[in-house]
Each structure stands twice: as structure tokens, then as C-alpha cells.
Amino acid sequence: MGTLPTGKTLSVHEAPIPGLKVIDLSVHGDARGWFKENWQREKMTALGLEDFGPVQNNISFNASPGVTRGIHAEPWDKYISVATGRVFGAWVDLREGPTFGAAYWCEIDPTVAVFVPRGVGNAFQALEQNTAYTYLVNAHWSAEAQSEYTFLNLADETAAIPWTIPLDKAVLSEKDKAHPRLEAVTPMPPKRTLVIGTNGQLGRALSARWAGRSDVDLVGRDTVDLSVQDTLDRINWSQYSTIVNAAAYTAVDDAETAKGRRTAWAVNSAGPGALARIATEHRLTLVHVSTDYAFDGTQEIHTEDEPFSPLGVYGQSKAAGDTAVATAPQHYILRTSWVIGDGPNFVRTMASLAARGVDPSVVSDQLGRLSFANEIARAIDHLLTTGAQYGTYNVSNAGEPASWADIAKKVYELTGHDPERVTPVTTEKYFAGKSGIAPRPAHSTFDLSKLEACGFTPRDQFEDLATLLGRSL
């Protein structure tokens, strides 16, 4: 066993660099040698270590004391330990942000491991002969990936790393000697967020909300078409951490036709299924937007765990998409109803009818709440920013449930017209004599308590309605 300490309790400790963690490993030994669980997913994640999904194991063998390597910041996470010998390890934060340049160091023997997040520079110095330095990484190495590395000189004065063996007596490669000082280092940018479906109402709301962010890529159907797999295959997913799927086929009645049915299933089911596979493979967070049409509307209030019961093709395709997305380990499904945003929608139609002197008949036996696109975008931002628990969340505006006729009357009132010009009618009467009409759920009201429990307070639907119309309640 030599001088290795035994009896340590497995534990995980936060280091001064955000995301950098030091792990005390339990080593068991006797006169024959020693044994340790170097990486134990279940135990370590329970103690707070990231479930980072390693896919490759590398070993650096160092024959002599003084061999020094680094400082290399790589575009993946790594888990470092020592198989034999000892090293002096040093880490410098080379990511964009307020901790850029922060440094930490410690000695590592077989009883210590370190988790190094993407973008934190790693360096080590062998302190004994025949030292084996081993590390797990969660992406496969490739020559192309080297272009994403960030480097810092081992002798950088700002980091001021107190090497056990002075660098002028250490063994360094010529490449490592030539790395830049901190003032000349370009920080590693964060992974990006990809928003798919920016042509729609929610896509435009997300584009407006994240307009000032340099780490968000916004793409429309001309770039990513969920019904065409090739448009997904062309994306370099390694640069992303998050996908927000705001794309959907929402032509509810057209989905009942032969052509519409194929498109609905391609965009609403197969497309999200492909995104779920990509998110799983690349360990991305997948945000997906669903609908009240996943239910038949017999329940007056819908909770997140209500079983699917879609009435038509549109709802069926969306429910299938939800099922696929739920297979991704890191997912948010936001179930929405009656979406109102920038573009053609029910509110704008009613306002236009009021201005033109039209007295409409509007359905009064379908009840729910409006979901303003800006409010859905705010909820997405909240869930991602706060790191809320993954899963399904109901998202709509708050307030008393209303019928489409109630909302139409409110639009007439807010735009200065007589709300009594709106005639309430039943769904059956409204669609009488019309063919190719998809069935609608009678109740679309969501229980919002799960969303509220994670710190989000939905705005009242009629407050946002007044804001959209440029009026006050």
C-alpha cells in the first residue's frame, strides 16, 4: 500500500472555480496493493457530481518527475485521476465570464480525483517516476476538435501557479512553452442555444426576448425543416447545449386531410423524435412545446400527468412527439393552449371584425385560457435560467377560464366596440354544414401549480390581451 492513505470516505467538494470539483476517493488496500472505485456513477452523482456521460478514457504515462503538461482547455468535460504516482495539478478558468483567469491547484494521488468542466484549462506536473495520469472525457477526440481548444502558458504570471518543480527544471514540450499569456488568450465561449421554428408566433417571441444574446442561433424552416432529416444532419451539434423546438404543424383542420396528415406526423412526431435522439447522443437540453389538443377535453382542468387522449390527427401527432421528447434525459415539455403572438391569430381577427362592423358568432362551449407567445418565451427562459427540474410543465396565462366568445367580447370592449355584437354559439352550431373540421377539446384549462412552484408567476390573460391591443383594463 505504500504511503497511500486509506479509510477516506467518498465525498465531492466544490473548488473556487465554478463547476470544478475535487473528489476524495475511498481506497482499500493491504500488503498486496490497493483497490478503488475510480468512477462510480451512481454514488458520485448522488453526491453532486455531474452525470457527464464519459465516452473515452485516456492515459498519459510520465516516466520522470518534472514532466509538465498544459495548460489546455478542451471543449468537453473531463474527470481526472491518478493510477500510479503523484502529480501537482493546476486549473485555470479560460471561459468567458467573470471568473476568467481564476486558478486553483492541488496535489493528486490515487485517492483524489478532479472533475474539470468544459473550458477550464488543465495542467499537471509528475512528481514521481512512472506516473500514470488518467482521464475520462464525454466527447470523442478528433483532430478537428483541436481547433476549439484554448491554451494558456504554464508560466503565466497572472495565474501564478506555484509549481512544485520550477519550470526551468521541468520537462516541457515546445508547444506548451509557446502558449500565450492570459492577456492574449481568447476565452472559450459558452455552448450555444439553437431555436428552431423562428417563423412562427413563439419563434418570433423568443427572437425578441433573446435579441441581445450572442450565444443564441435562430433558424427558420428554410434552414431546419423537421420533416427533412438532412437539415438536422448538417448541424454541428457539438457547439450547442440547448435546443428549443418552437416549430410545429398547427393546421388543425388540414391535418385531417391525406396530405396534411403526412406533414403533421413528419413535423410534430418524427421531427421531435429525431431531436430527442440528437439531444440524448450529445447530452443537450431539449425544450419542446406541446398543446391542449393532446387531450380530449373531458377533464375540466388538465394536470401534467393526465394520460393522452387526443381526438384528431393534430393532437395525435403532438402526443406522439411528446412521448418521443420525454425519452431525452434532459428535456422540458411545455404544454400550451390558445397561443396568441405576432402574426395571424384569433385576437387580431376579432379586432379586425370589430373595426369593419362585423358581428360574429363565436363558440361559447370551449373553455380555456390564452397563452401569449411572450409569456411562453418568458417561461422557457425561466426554466432554463433557474435550472428547474426536467419534465413536463403546463404553461399558459393565468386568470379565470373563459370561452372563445368571452374573449371575443373582451376584444370588442377593449377596442371601443359593443361586446354584445358577439353572439355566443355552441361548437356544434358553429360548424354545422362544414366538412373537414377536426374535433376540438371542450376544456383546455391547465393546472399551473407546478410552474408556479418553480418560481414563475404567470400574467393574467386579460392583462396581456389589453397590452396587445394597446389598451388598459
Say if residue 203 is in the same domain as residue 170.
Answer: no
Domain end point (choices 129, 152, 184): 184
Which among 184, 203, 222 is the end of a domain? Answer: 184
**Do 235 and 316 belong together in one domain?**
yes
**CATH code where residue 69 lies:** 2.60.120.10
Among 72, 179, 302, 331, the one annotated catalytic: 72
Closest CA to 308 of 441, 452, 453: 441
Distance, in Å, from the CA atom of 392 to the CA atom of 372, rounded to the nearest integer, reads 19
CB atoms near residue 357 (< 10 Å): 8
For residue 302, the surrounding DSSP H or E stretch is strand 301-302
Among 155, 184, 213, give the residue marking a domain's end: 184
Q: Which residue has the cell 503523484?
A: 86
pLDDT at position 34? 87
Q: Is 2 contained in some domain?
A: no
**Strand-pair category, 192-196 with 216-219:** parallel
Question: Is residue 443 in some structural domain?
Answer: yes
Residue 473: inside a domain: no
Question: Are 23 and 115 contacting, i.e. CB atoms less than 8 angstroms apart?
Answer: yes
Centre a 10 Å sphere on the Cβ of residue 137 and count the other Cβ atoms it contains: 22
Residue type, 283: R
Give kind and range of the element (H or E) at residue 71.
strand 68-73
Pairing of strands 391-394, 56-62: unpaired
C-beta atoms surrounding 271 within 10 Å = 29
Task: For residue 352, give the 3-state DSSP assignment.
Answer: helix
**Is residue 405 assigned to a domain?**
yes
Whether 165 and 204 map to the same domain: the answer is no
Q: In terms of domains, do 224 and 296 share one?
A: yes
Angle at CA of residue 349, ends 419 and 363, nearest 5°: 60
What is the reported pLDDT for 5? 61
- Number of alpha carbons in the 13 Å side-chain half-sphere of residue 417: 22
pLDDT along the chain (473 residues), means of 10: 66 96 91 90 94 93 96 96 96 96 96 97 97 94 82 97 97 96 96 95 96 94 92 92 97 95 96 97 96 96 97 97 97 98 94 97 97 98 97 98 98 97 96 92 98 97 95 72
- Same domain, yes or no: 57 and 85: yes
Instruction: Please write down the HEC assignment for all residues of 246-258.
Output: CCCCCCCCHHHCH
314 in active site: no
CA 326/CA 304 separation, integer angstroms? 13
30 lies in the same domain as 145: yes
In a domain, 436, yes or no: yes
Instruction: Determine the Cα–Cα distance for residues 182 and 92; give it in Å rounded to an integer.
Output: 10
Ramachandran class of 391: left when φ > 0, alpha when ψ lies in -120 to 50, beta otherwise:
left
Q: 161: which 3 cell numbers?
A: 501557479
Query: What pLDDT does residue 3 have?
Result: 57
Q: Is 135 a catalytic residue?
A: yes
- Which residues span the domain enclosing 352? 192-468
Say how many CA atoms lie within 13 Å of 188 toward its Cβ. Answer: 26
| Contacts of 392 by beta carbon, 8 Å cutoff, 6+ apart | 290, 304, 322, 326, 332, 333, 334, 335
Secondary structure letter of residue 159 according to DSSP: T
- Regarding whether 160 and 301 lie in a shared domain, the answer is no
In a domain, 327, yes or no: yes
| pLDDT for position 204 | 96
Q: How far apart are CA 401 and CA 317, in angstroms?
A: 26
Whether residue 56 is found in the same domain as residue 78: yes
Q: Does one domain contain both 237 and 112?
A: no
In a domain, 4, yes or no: no
Grid cell 376584444 is found at: 411
**420 is a domain residue:** yes
Residue 391 CA from chain centroid, whole number:
11
Grid cell for residue 428: 356544434
63 and 121, same domain (yes or no): yes
Query: Within 239-360, where are the H helices?
Result: 258-265, 271-282, 313-325, 346-355
Instruction: Give me the residue label for grid cell 506548451.
Output: 176
List CB contacts of 441: < 8 A, sequence separation 6 or more.
292, 293, 295, 296, 297, 311, 315, 366
What is the rounded distance in angstroms from the CA atom of residue 9 to the CA atom of residue 353? 72
How many domains does the chain fold into?
2
The CATH number that applies at residue 364 is 3.40.50.720
Is 131 in the same domain as 197? no
Question: Residues 346, 411: one domain?
Answer: yes
**Phi/psi class of residue 322: alpha, beta or left (left: φ > 0; alpha: ψ in -120 to 50)?**
alpha
Q: Which of 79, 104, 133, 135 is catalytic?
A: 135
Cell match 438536422: residue?
A: 232
Secondary-structure breakdown of the chain: helix, strand, coil percentages, each rounded to the nearest 5: 30, 25, 45
Would you call the peptide bond into 380 cis, given omega within 30 degrees of 0 as the criterion? no
Chain centroid to Cα 414, Å, comes to 38
Any bridge partners for residue 219, and if so which?
196
